[in-house]
Chain A
Amino acid sequence: MSMQALFGQLLVGLINGSFYAMLSLGLAIIFGLLGIVNIAQGAFYMLGGFVTWMLLNYAGIGYFWSLLLVPIIVGLIGAAIEKTLLKKIYNLDHMYGLLLTFGIMMFIQGMFVHFFATAGRPYTVPSALTGGYNLGFMFLPKYRGWVVLASLVLCLVTWYAIEKTSIGRTLRAATENPTLTRAFGVNVPALMTIGFGIGVALAGAAGVLAAPIYPVSPLMGAELIITVFAVVVVGGMGSIMGAIVTSLMLGLLEGLTKVVYPQGSNMVIFVIMLIVLLVRPAGLFGRER
C-alpha cells in the first residue's frame, strides 16, 4: 500500500472526525441546556449543505458568504423549531424529546426527498481553495486542509466561548441549575432557544464545509447522526474537550481502517463503542454517575 493512499485516507478520516466533532459539540450544548438528545442534528447538517447549494444556485451567493450566512439561517430555523415545538415538551419525560426530534428529522429529510429527490448534487470547490500542496509524503488538496483547519478553529472557538466568556458562564450556570439561574434574573427560556440555535448552527456549519466534498443530498446526515451518537457514547457525555478529542481520534481510526481493512471501515466506530461500553461504561472522558 502506498504512503499516498495511507495519508489520503487519514486526511479523509480527520475531515470526518472534525464533522463528528462539530455535530457532537452541538449535541452536547443542546443536551446540557434542554435535556434533549437532538437526533435531528444530522438533518440540520443536511440543511446546512442544502442551503449552501440553494444560495449558490438560486441567489448566486458564493461559498464564503454561505459560510457566514448558512449557520445563521440554520440557527434561526432551529430557534423557530425550539420555540414552536420543543418548548411544549420540557416538562415531560426526556424520552419525548428524543422522539419529537426523531419526528422532526424524518419530516425534514422526507420533505427534501420530496422536492429534490435523493440524488446528490455537486458543489464546486471555491476557486480560492482549489489546487493543493505537495508535501512530499502526500498531496494535500487545499480545500481539505481548509476544512480541517476551519472546523478545528470553530470547535476551539466554541470551547473557548463556553469555558472562558461571560455568555459561556451563563450557559454553564443555566445548564447546571436553570431554576436558580432564572431567579437571578437570567432569561433561561430565551437562552434555551439561543442554545438550540447555536447547537444546530454548528451542524449547519459542518454542512457548508461538507458541501464541496460530499455531494449534497437529503439523506447525507441520516447515517451520520448514528455514528455521532456512537462517538458521544465513546467519549462520554459532559466534557466538551473530550468530545472534540474523541471525534478526531475516531475519525482517524476510521480512515486508517479504510486502508487496512476496508470492509470494516463503517463498522469500526461501533465496534469501538461496544468495547468501551464493556471496559469503561462511562466513556473515555465521562464520569460514572
Chain B
Amino acid sequence: MSDQRVLTVDNVTGHYGDSHILHGVSMHVNEGEVVTIIGRNGAGKTTLLRAIMGILTKRGGSIVVRGQETIALPPERIARLGIGYVPEERGIYATLDVTENLMLPPRVAAGGMSLDDIYKLFPNLYERRRSPGTRLSGGEQQMLAIARVLRTGAKFLLLDEPTEGLAPVIVQQIGATIELMKRQGMTLILVEQNFRFASRLADRHYVMEHGQIVDVIDRAQVQARMDSIKSYLGI
C-alpha cells in the first residue's frame, strides 16, 4: 500500500510572514488518484500547495514525496521528484513568448509530451505561439499553464484553481484535459472552488478550514453528504 503513496503530508505547519496559516495539516495521495482540496477562501489551500512545492519558506512537519522526505529540500529539488505545478496566478512569463513559456520548465521525468503533441492538443496556443505570454486571454493563459507542465513528464500535478474566472466553455475544455491526464494515470491535487466541476473528477475531497483538514469525503459519499459539503463551502 505505502509503495503506492505519491504524497504523504503529516502535521504540516506554515507561516506567511508573521501570520500562521497552516496548523498541522495531514493528508495523502495515492498513485493515479485525483484528490481535491476544498474550502472557503483563506482556508489555506493555496498555502498548502506552496508548502508542498517548497516555495513557502517557513514550513514544518513532514512532507514525503514518493518516499523522499522533502521538508528540508529547496523547491528545485522537490520539483525534480516529478511534480508539476500550476499556480493560482498562472505564472505566465511576460518576457517569454508562448513557445518559450512551454519550453521553460526542465524535463523532470521521462514520457512528457512533445511540443508538437501539445500544440495538437491546444491548437489555439499554436496560433499564438509567438505572442508574449501575458498577451493571451485568461483562458489561453490557463491552458498554457497546464500545457507547460505536461511537457515536463511530471506524473504528479498540483493544480491551483484552474477554472477560476473562466467562461463555461473553457472550463469544460479544462475539465476534458484533466480527465485525459487522469486516464493517462497521472496523480493530481486539485484546489477548486467550483465543487460541481471538482466532484466530476475527484476520487476524494479533503475539506480545509482555518489551516487544518477537517473532513475527508470519498467519491461514493458525495451525494449522501451534500448538505455538509454545502455548509463547508458556504453555498
Contact = CB atoms under 8 A, between A and B. Distances in A.
B95 A183 contact: no
B74 A183 contact: no
A183 B104 contact: no
Interface stretch (A33-41, A144-152, A153-161, A165-173): A165-173
A61 interface: no
A71 B94 CA distance: 31
A188 B76 contact: yes
Contact of A183 (B79, B93, B94, B96): B79
B75 A169 contact: no
A169 B74 contact: no
B96 A169 contact: yes
A231 to B, nearest CB: 23
Given A166-B103, A183-B55, A172 B96 contact: yes
A172 B104 CA distance: 10
A169 B79 contact: no
Main secondary structure of the interface of B (DSSP, over half): loop
A250 to B, nearest CB: 26
Contact of A186 (B95, B96, B103, B106): B106
Contacts of B188: none
Nearest to A91: B57
Given A169-B103, A170-B104, A180-B87, A185 B79 contact: yes
A187 B76 contact: yes
A175 to B, nearest CB: 7
For A173, A176, A184, the residue with the greatest tally of chain B CB atoms inside 10 Å of its CB is A184
Nearest to A238: B95
A182 B91 contact: no
Interface in B35-53: 53
Contact of A185 (B55, B100, B103, B106): B106
B55 A182 contact: yes
B105 interface: yes
A228 B104 CA distance: 32
B125 to A, nearest CB: 17
Interface in B110-132: none
- Interface range on chain A (Cβ under 8 Å from partner): 10 to 19
Contacts of B87: 180, 183
A185 B79 CA distance: 5
Contact of A184 (B96, B100, B106): B106
B104 A173 contact: yes
Nearest to B104: A173
B104 A169 contact: yes
A177 interface: yes
Contacts of B78: 183
B85 interface: yes
B76 A169 contact: no
A185 B105 CA distance: 7
B161 to A, nearest CB: 15
Contact of B74 (A166, A177, A184, A189): A189
B80 interface: yes
Interface string A180-209: 111111111100000000000000000000
B152 interface: yes
A170 B95 CA distance: 11
Contacts of B91: 177, 180
Interface in B48-100: 53-55, 74-76, 78-80, 85, 87, 91, 93-96, 100
A124 interface: no
Contacts of A182: 55, 74-76, 79
B12 interface: no
B95 A172 contact: yes
B55 A179 contact: yes
B189 interface: no
A185 B80 contact: yes
B85 A184 contact: yes
B108 interface: yes
A180 to B, nearest CB: 4
Contacts of A170: 104
Q: Which 5 A-B pairs have the closest CB atoms?
A: A185-B79, A184-B105, A182-B75, A180-B91, A172-B95
Given A173-B93, A185-B152, 14 more contacts: A166-B103, A169-B100, A170-B104, A173-B96, A176-B95, A177-B91, A179-B75, A182-B75, A182-B79, A183-B54, A183-B55, A184-B104, A185-B79, A186-B104
13 contacts: A169-B103, A173-B95, A179-B55, A182-B55, A182-B74, A182-B79, A183-B85, A184-B85, A184-B105, A184-B106, A185-B76, A185-B79, A189-B74
